[in-house]
């Protein structure tokens, strides 16, 4: 098991109990989505995994090691992190952004250069064209690709992603989602992705943890969620994507009839 979250709780100063009794496991190579409405505790859960936040109770195991016993900085270097927005350093080139962790890990300069080029190729950005540019000269989708390359730099077996495709237009988002899933399948790393978009979770994830008011109300594959939603909240969250899919299907059928 690559990640195990066991009865996690987080209470913020001031008494807000953002996460309560959250437990879920992630297998090697699995893509898990944490889905839920704004404020339900998704980001808090994610940050407790790599100890950007300290849990108030419960335990997190990364590759069977108790995260509480690891040095938080070493833990964070070991786990890839794709931030909300893109989180790139604006004053650094694309190549230097991707190289940040490698330099912290004391890689030799030639190895860093080769690795950066290989990573840019992985996310389908031509290194010759992109490595020396500033993030400000890139489109949103290209910046997000750089963010993914940076998160993969150290060869982590686990990636945490906070709304990685949230700020993109639908076409760019769709392309990036497909590329990401293909890359993840090919390279075999596991990922936990926070999203408020149930359609995105259904299309991408192997398993979906549906969160509500700080708790996981169902943790299942997309097929099981669709066939047997176990909670009113899950049914409500499925309504929108299912309604849209039906509406498009109906329109398509109508257009087909018009053609005849």
Ligand X SMILES: Nc1ncnc2c1ncn2[C@@H]1O[C@H](COP(=O)(O)OP(=O)(O)OP(=O)(O)O)[C@@H](O)[C@H]1O
Query: Which positions touch ligand X (CB under 6 A)?
Result: 12, 14, 16, 18, 36, 38-44, 196
| Closest to ligand X by CB, 49 or 102 | 49
Q: What's the closest the beta carbon of residue 209 comes to ligand X, in angstroms? A: 12
Q: Is 125 helix (H, G, I), strand (E, B) or coil?
A: coil
Edge-to-edge strands of the sheet including 31-35?
A: 80-82, 158-162, 190-195, 31-35, 207-212, 215-220
Note whether 192 and 34 are within 8 A (CB): yes
Q: Compute CA distances 161 → 49, 50, 144, 188, 191, whole Å.
A: 11, 11, 11, 16, 7
Q: What's the closest the beta carbon of residue 43 comes to ligand X, in angstroms? A: 3
Q: Is 92 helix (H, G, I), strand (E, B) or coil?
A: coil
Report d(CA 254, CA 259) in Å as an integer: 9
Q: What's the closest the beta carbon of residue 194 comes to ligand X, in angstroms? A: 6
| Closest to ligand X by CB, 95 or 164 | 164
Q: What's the closest the beta carbon of residue 166 comes to ligand X, in angstroms? A: 9
Note whether 28 and 5 are within 8 A (CB): no
Note whether 214 and 43 are within 8 A (CB): no
| Closest to ligand X by CB, 10 or 150 | 10
Q: What's the closest the beta carbon of residue 239 comes to ligand X, in angstroms? A: 19
| Closest to ligand X by CB, 96 or 197 | 197
| Closest to ligand X by CB, 134 or 166 | 166
Q: What's the closest the beta carbon of residue 157 comes to ligand X, in angstroms? A: 24
Report d(CA 113, CA 210) in Å as an integer: 40
CB proximity list for 82: less than 8 A, separation 6 or greater = 144, 147, 148, 151, 159, 160, 161, 162, 164
| Closest to ligand X by CB, 55 or 95 | 55
């Amino acid at each position: 098991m690559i990640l195990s979250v066991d009865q996690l709780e987080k209470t913020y100063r001031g008494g807000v109990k953002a996460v309560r009794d959250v437990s879920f496991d992630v297998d090697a190579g699995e893509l898990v989505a944490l889905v839920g409405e704004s404020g339900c505790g998704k980001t808090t859960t994610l940050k407790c995994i790599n100890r950007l936040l300290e849990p108030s109770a419960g335990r997190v195991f990364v590759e069977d090691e108790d995260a509480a016993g690891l040095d938080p900085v070493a833990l964070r270097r070991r786990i890839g992190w794709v931030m909300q927005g893109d989180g790139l350093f604006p004053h650094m080139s694309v190549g230097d952004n991707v190289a940040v962790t490698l330099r912290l890990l004391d890689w030799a300069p030639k190895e860093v250069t080769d690795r950066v080029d290989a990573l840019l190729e992985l996310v389908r950005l031509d290194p010759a064209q992109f490595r020396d540019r500033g993030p400000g000269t890139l489109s949103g989708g290209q910046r997000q690709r750089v963010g993914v390359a940076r998160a993969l730099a150290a060869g982590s077996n686990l990636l945490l992603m906070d709304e990685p495709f949230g700020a993109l237009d639908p076409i760019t988002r769709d392309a990036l989602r497909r590329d990401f899933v293909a890359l993840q399948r090919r390279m075999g790393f596991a990922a936990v992705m926070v999203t408020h978009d149930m359609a995105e979770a259904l299309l991408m994830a192997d398993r979906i943890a549906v969160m509500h008011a700080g708790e996981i109300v169902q943790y299942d594959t997309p097929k099981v969620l669709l066939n047997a939603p176990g909670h009113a909240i899950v049914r409500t969250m499925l309504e929108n994507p299912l309604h849209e899919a039906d509406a498009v299907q109906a329109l398509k059928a109508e257009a087909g009839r018009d053609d005849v």
